[in-house]
Amino acid sequence: MQPDVLLDDATWRDPSGVPREWPSTTIGSLVAAADSVAMTGLREGWATTSVATLESRLRQQLSAQIPRRLSAEVGSARWVGVATRLATVRMFEVHGMDEALLRYAMREDVAMHAGLDVLAPGIDATRVIPTELPHAPRTR
């Protein structure tokens, strides 16, 4: 049996991943900033807001931490975007929000979107991938 849609593995994007081609110093500053902002967000209860609100708050905090020297290939907007995604993932992981993490990862999952197109052509993926997060689980 053959798959309906063939996808290159390179299309899969790890939501907690950073671009491999970036210099290690850039990746180090990004990871440190994302972790720091994620911890701030956890302390302040941002994990119980919508994904859009959460990302907006994280993006605002991370914009103030952009390293002074970024290569042209990285750029400040891309650095903030990757750091925001990483901080969001970190918050979900630390808070034990596995369902929210899965939903977040699915937003950009090319294979999942291709599957939806085969099963239900033209379906609005936002109907399948809710943007609102459930209330935060009790801490263990």
Instruction: Determine if the pTM surpasses 0.85.
Output: no
Residues 75 and 87: beta-carbon distance below 8 Å: no
| Residues of the chain below pLDDT 70 | 3-16, 110, 113, 125-140
* pLDDT tens profile 3-41: 666 665 544 456 667 787 888 888 889 999 999 999 999
Angle, CA 52 vertex, CA 46 and CA 57 arms, to 5°: 45
Look at residue 9 in the predicted model and tell me its pLDDT.
Answer: 54
Look at residue 11 in the predicted model and tell me its pLDDT.
Answer: 46
Look at residue 59 in the predicted model and tell me its pLDDT.
Answer: 94
Q: Report the amino acid identity of residue 21.
A: E
Instruction: Locate all alpha helices (DSSP H) within 12-74, ordered by sequence.
Output: 24-43, 51-63
